[in-house]
Amino acid sequence: MELYVAALGFGLISASVIAIAAVGFTMQFGITNMINLAYGEVMMVSGYAAFYVNQAGVNIWVAMIAGALAGAALSYLLNRFLYTPFQRKGTNLIGMVIISLAASLMIANLMLPLVGYDTSSYVIDQGQLLRWNGLVLTAAQIAIIVVAAILMAAIHGLLTYTRLGKAMRATAANPTLARNCGIPTQRVISVVWLITGALCGVAGVVAGMDSENFSVASGAGYLITIIAAAVLGGAGQPYGAMIGALIIGLVTELSAAAIAPEYKQVVAFAILVLVMVLRPQGMLAKRGALAAAG
């Protein structure tokens, strides 16, 4: 029984990591209608950016900012110089998926000669071990959960209370109408990529903190759980992604305790398949997997 309570704790951390990533991912989908398969690699690059800053003696929590900046910059460049030109050209959804896949491959393989094939780890002070009713978490792990909560609240605040947030939601719902209402959709889209890129960056660093080590190959692994969480919650729905992340995080950790840790991704995949078969639009989406025959 203790095993499961501990797994619950891990599940919360997992959910936090996934949530930060999935919200960014799903917002990119919501605003540009494309599945950015390079997302996992951007996370990995950001993780390494923070790594080098960390190696230079900076505390990992401060180095996280470097990760956020790297993620924001790379995501913005990716959208500006690769995705947008192809979309302007009229490339269909499938073409965009193939292009983002090609981009992910290039990013990963450009990183390999730079950082090598070996795994790396952050220098991180885990802090005190805190126990509560069978939950055992270090201070650092709790801090991760807190960071996730703060970011989720920030996103909620952004979307609900700010002009930018409203512009974002309008552009996501109906870009033509938004433009006709005077919203500078191109700029809104760029800002969304910067913000979601920063989320992606933070997610990459936090993911590196949560696992013992990471490498260039970690990028692809992140992507699967993120896609599962985003689809579960409803494509393009940030709140759905948060719920999806919570479910995926908890279920994968609990099943890892119940079955075996190597199959965590398989469980996430199984959830993805179930959602696709039973309710492709996810929990919250109005349009989503069933939208206009692609």
Residues lying near another protein in the complex (CB under 8 A) are found at 34-35, 37, 82, 85-86, 89, 91, 93-99, 101-103, 105-106, 108-110, 112-113, 117, 220-221, 224, 227-228, 231, 260, 262-263, 265-266, 269, 272-273, 276-277, 280, 286-287, 289-294
Closer residue to another protein in complex, CB, 140/216: 216
Rounded to a whole number of angstroms, the minimum distance from the CB of residue 269 to another protein is 4
Closer residue to another protein in complex, CB, 14/100: 100
Closer residue to another protein in complex, CB, 9/233: 233
Rounded to a whole number of angstroms, the minimum distance from the CB of residue 241 to another protein is 15
Contact 35, 214 (CB under 8 A): no
For residue 214, give the nearest of 40, 71, 77, 37 by alpha carbon: 40
Contact 65, 210 (CB under 8 A): no
**How far, in Å, CA of 101 to CA of 93, rounded?**
12
Closer residue to another protein in complex, CB, 250/289: 289
Closer residue to another protein in complex, CB, 105/158: 105
Torsion, Cα 260 204 287 168, to 10 degrees, reads 160
Rounded to a whole number of angstroms, the minimum distance from the CB of residue 26 to another protein is 13
**How far, in Å, CA of 289 to CA of 294, rounded?**
9
Rounded to a whole number of angstroms, the minimum distance from the CB of residue 265 to another protein is 6
For residue 41, give the nearest of 128, 103, 88 by alpha carbon: 103
Rounded to a whole number of angstroms, the minimum distance from the CB of residue 221 to another protein is 8
At residue 194, what is the residue type?
L
Cβ neighbours of 270 (radius 10 Å) = 15
